Structure 1
């Protein structure tokens, strides 16, 4: 006997069957077609599986489904239930000879995946988890464990009418029931975090409670999994004793030894060497080998090694090198292999459809009702409690590992394995759909008057939210905050938000502690974050200590896809009642900055933030701000008119209160030869005496400009640190020439301008059509793209004036959908 590709022979000799693989040294030119050899078959399988996995992920993405779902569905399509029904397909893609190679390769991916899971699981976040999350997690472990034990008997193999039992009687059936209960206890943290991020629930109380509860439930599931593996052996007492000893030795002996070894073999001033990373990779395999030898699965050993490996820069370096290959290839292969092992034809023969459906419903309901009633007892609103109950049904790789290990240890047959995998898929797939369409959190918007610097005043407390894309944004942002004139009486409240793209490789643990980066956070707490986040936190903490109580600081992390990152930023700004939101321009450096520094994703985030921000926005073009050694910081502000220019002058006016700052204000006045302004927009104003008059919006803005400039000149007439001049111009060319002349006369460190909806201004005629970066406005763009002030940073201000009008500039996004 042999398969369709003649890759093996089955012989009967000496009373037993033997499977003989053919010569692996065969080539295209000798003895046998090399395509039939295992390695080329594995390559074909990886290519086909990767293409199918990516395709299904794209198809399911609009339904907010995690990749885990698409991968398993892909495996089911490739398996014996669908394409596997065709013999020719099996001979080409799934020959018998490749089964061992494919399973070993995917199992290696599973080993490194759980190592990364363990690497992210740190003991420190447990200390900050609320009692509510602990109660939800505890109830979500105990009750589903009991319900899972009972519901298993709905699909348990029953004796055939005229034959031997279909499954082993007695204790093994009880072990299998316990195995399913363990699979139900877990709520998969990585999959849950991505669902919450996709649905914008991370910063909601529901999302934070779900994350913390999932974190604890994962730890509980790992503990129960160790019990399952231990009891699956005949000599379980010996296996249990050796396993407990290995775990305790790893935590209390090997972990301190690893910490000492890392400190003594690395230079704290330099990055870790590649040899450190290589030894970590080998340590994963070593722990897997030891745990396998003790009777535990190598999966558990890999998780344990990741759990005890000290966090910090080394853990970050290991994760960066391993996550791409793991998340893109190895993990999808493992999930698809689970689908390949499913066989719905055999399941239909052994398990009735009604029992399978009831099994799925009871499994889903056990977690839902348990979480729902516990959340109600913890004073949660019924709507939030129901949403939390749905979220806790999120399954993923951990539950899949439990079921697959049960099959490897012969606790499950194909029929039961298939129903359990299908149950995991249904439970997880229903979560984002239900939350998306049935749960609309009623977020109460914070109503506060002071959403701009002009309305706040120059001698009032200021709340500034600054966005940081990378560590290169830190220096310029902090120097700008130093110029913002905080005092002990009126300190500046700074909220630093690190913007991190949410991808398949993003650390899930960062989301659990994203709100924990406070000024009093400990180094051990921050060690679990990315190295860049830690660097940002340390820089702002140092700035706070040097500020002499004129600044208070709070750091947060916004993890989101770039397409929806502006929603998180604007939501945080609304929650924190910010007066000003500062974002870094996507091109840093001089006018001849390398194009490689341009990030289209960061630019898209900036544009949407400026369109939907609930407060004023400052867009900072950093060209070495704060690196000058001059004793006096010279600033220049160009004023044309409008709300954005008034906001820019208000901020510059506030900066001029610092003794080391000199401010030059240049106001442009329309000359006799300027083109008349087109006035088409009307506004209804109520006069003081009760009469009403229709005047143009332009006339109203001119009146506001005159009133504001009159107040500015009156209050600063005796201030030697402020210089005020007026320039008469007739068009955009004369305006730009005047700007060039002023900036070439003195090396200003920063220029402050308004973004402005000034296309109708005659002072800008000819400039608007040449704008390259619309978010900078005509003046800001002209300065940023010119070469007459290559070392002068630019701050473009946009006043919170009419977000509904500004939002029309966004890429077809609806303002009503901003806050969900």
Structure 2
């Protein structure tokens, strides 16, 4: 039905991706965006020159560099290069030193009690007036009282700017020692009170808390499947494209790709969330030249062109600190009603299968998204580079997918995604169900059997949907069987958390990545020298609790596709362990 179109597009994908990279890299003038050391040196000299000009014009020496800073463009390439040179020195040495010197100049013993009371009353009255004014304006624009109050508190916060101003006034004798000490003490007191109060009253992620189901398992038939793919670098793109391909976009069940390019905030003060429109580039949207981001957008655009009428693309760019980047991810996922967010794993693999690099900021980001995401979440462990090919879907190649099923809501979500993939004419899906010996009459086991039976009926006539069962006695046998599987598949889907079972006892003691769960952490280990990519799935949590396991998959009618013959490939067979019976 869709096989010919999909296969031809898949066959051309590798060429189109390389062509997209070549087109962007070959842009005229691309080399002009390189910031040389001479440029940084000139900027530092100009800072001194403007400071000198301010002094000889009877102004404070800070005025000239401040005005010059407004002129220098923020963000990459120039702003980022400057920040990269001075950030560590400024924040690690100069900033704490300035605060320490300010503290040494503050003599609190010069302040009498009456001055404390008078100035405290003035600060309190001024703060109340500011909070009240902000709340009136915010309520006029239909903000909640809680958000309006927090906004007023934020506008009352004070920091380094006020301290610099007070130091200048002290140097120019506008403030006496007592007045300077009072001002510094009030800055410290206000900051100490407002910071924990704001954190207590305002959690930005709470506004994206979902109250309705947004999962793959509960997705209705003939409904658009919305996948949000988060991308850090262009190396994430090929495997993400393959995931999108096997997600089986059809005219009846189209796929909406919401691509969010994640860029660390460097060289600018304000985070930016940009929604790109057709024909836009990063340069036209945020005024900087980021060729890697352009490559990602163009490559994804080529994918949607190959699947015209079956797939759409909505690209975004989030430029933010990693500590707050999860807010942008959840905002876009919530507003676009995504069914799953796919995040890259924080570890990359070298060509020999060892861990190439580890980014702890990415790990913290993934943990934050997992905790509060308004939909299901998948963490993609990409070993595509080990396979030696950027494109795995062609008209002559069968993409082998496995689902590890032990039971639980997360495994049910992984099974639902795998079931959708099994409808693709070039996908061979094996559901590997592991059973604990001696629990034939377990209630949970019967529920899982009913769930699998639903999917069996949905794929009547589809020879590439296979359910295999293995009865094992302990975690050691489970680990051994999974290890024997990894060389037989291209992609493995596994739930993040599983129901309590003795099969997992002892396997989590050496876990390094809790966000992957026990099985996912085992598959991410460098001990598995294979080209297998893994997608670890967590089903949406509502109010921090999993959705009921008893919900049945919606698709109950058989999905029959004519598929080409499979090429010869190494096989793996699951058999019931008869020797353990009796």
TM-score by length of structure 1 reads 0.53
Rate the CA distance shift 1:367–1:782 in 2: closer, same or farther, 3 A.
closer
Query: What's the counterpart of residue 703 of structure 1?
Result: 450
Q: Deviations over 1:255-276 (max 9, x none)?
A: xxxxxxxxxxx96277422222
2:174 corresponds to 1:389: no
Instruction: Give how far 1:736 is off.
Output: 6.1
Q: Is the 8 A contact 1:580 1:615 kept in 2?
A: yes
Between the aligned partners of 1:362 and 1:646, the Cα distance in structure 2 is 57
Query: What's the counterpart of residue 439 of structure 2?
Result: 677
Gaps of 5+ in 1: 1-265, 681-695, 808-820
Match of 1:323 among 87, 90, 95: 87
Query: What's the counterpart of residue 375 of structure 2?
Result: 615
Between the aligned partners of 1:635 and 1:446, the Cα distance in structure 2 is 34
2:65 corresponds to 1:337: no
Between the aligned partners of 1:419 and 1:702, the Cα distance in structure 2 is 72
Q: Is the 8 A contact 1:669 1:728 kept in 2?
A: yes
Gaps of 5+ in 2: 1-28, 548-582
Q: Which piece of structure 1 moves more, 329-338 or 535-544?
A: 535-544
Query: What's the counterpart of residue 413 of structure 2?
Result: 647
1:159-558 maps to which residues of 2 (within 5 A)?
A: 268=31, 271-311=34-74, 312-348=76-112, 352-437=115-200, 443=207, 445-449=209-213, 451-456=214-219, 459-469=222-232, 472-487=235-250, 490-497=253-260, 509-511=269-271, 513=272, 515-519=273-277, 523=282, 527=286, 535-536=292-293, 539-540=296-297, 542-544=299-301, 546-548=303-305, 550-555=311-316, 557=318
Instruction: Give how far 1:587 is off.
Output: 2.4
Instruction: Give how far 1:789 is off.
Output: 5.6
Between the aligned partners of 2:494 and 2:521, the Cα distance in structure 1 is 10
Instruction: Give how far 1:344 is off.
Output: 3.9
Structure 2 counterpart SS, 1:790:
coil
Query: What's the counterpart of residue 724 of structure 1?
Result: 466
Query: What's the counterpart of residue 537 of structure 2?
Result: 797
Q: Which piece of structure 1 moves more, 296-305 or 470-479?
A: 470-479
Instruction: Give how far 1:698 is off.
Output: 2.4
Between the aligned partners of 2:360 and 2:208, the Cα distance in structure 1 is 33
Q: Deviations over 1:576-604 (max 9, x none)?
A: 43211212223222696445623455445
Between the aligned partners of 1:773 and 1:379, the Cα distance in structure 2 is 43
Between the aligned partners of 2:156 and 2:218, the Cα distance in structure 1 is 47
Structure 2 counterpart SS, 1:583:
strand
Q: Is the 8 A contact 1:584 1:619 kept in 2?
A: yes
Structure 2 counterpart SS, 1:677:
coil
Query: What's the counterpart of residue 501 of structure 2?
Result: 760
Q: Deviations over 1:655-676 (max 9, x none)?
A: 35555x3324254576xxx721
Structure 2 counterpart SS, 1:509:
coil
Q: Is the 8 A contact 1:364 1:427 kept in 2?
A: no
Q: Is the 8 A contact 2:262 2:319 kept in 1?
A: yes
Instruction: Give how far 1:522 is off.
Output: 6.2
2:520 corresponds to 1:749: no
Rate the CA distance shift 1:633–1:303 in 2: closer, same or farther, 3 A.
farther
Q: Is the 8 A contact 2:353 2:530 kept in 1?
A: no
Instruction: Give how far 1:700 is off.
Output: 1.6
Between the aligned partners of 1:609 and 1:803, the Cα distance in structure 2 is 14
Structure 1 counterpart SS, 2:492:
strand
Structure 1 counterpart SS, 2:156:
coil
Between the aligned partners of 2:352 and 2:363, the Cα distance in structure 1 is 18
Going by fraction, where is helix more abundant, 1 or 2? 1
2:342 corresponds to 1:582: yes
Instruction: Give how far 1:725 is off.
Output: 6.5
Structure 2 counterpart SS, 1:617:
strand
Between the aligned partners of 1:795 and 1:768, the Cα distance in structure 2 is 19
Between the aligned partners of 1:726 and 1:359, the Cα distance in structure 2 is 75
Between the aligned partners of 2:121 and 2:91, the Cα distance in structure 1 is 33
Query: RCO (CA 8 Å, sep 6+): is it higher in 1 or 2?
Result: 2
Which structure has the greater CA radius of gyration?
1
Instruction: Give how far 1:622 is off.
Output: 0.3
Between the aligned partners of 2:101 and 2:357, the Cα distance in structure 1 is 41
Q: Is the 8 A contact 2:382 2:533 kept in 1?
A: yes
Q: Is the 8 A contact 2:322 2:365 kept in 1?
A: no
Query: What's the counterpart of residue 663 of structure 1?
Result: 428
TM-score by length of structure 2 reads 0.72
Tell me how many residue pairs correspond in the alignment.
Answer: 505
Instruction: Give how far 1:567 is off.
Output: 7.2
Q: Is the 8 A contact 2:238 2:391 kept in 1?
A: no
Q: Which piece of structure 1 moves more, 334-343 or 566-575?
A: 566-575
TM-align CA RMSD: 4.2
Rate the CA distance shift 1:765–1:270 in 2: closer, same or farther, 3 A.
same
Between the aligned partners of 1:294 and 1:428, the Cα distance in structure 2 is 35
Q: Is the 8 A contact 1:645 1:754 kept in 2?
A: yes
Rate the CA distance shift 1:352–1:664 in 2: closer, same or farther, 3 A.
closer
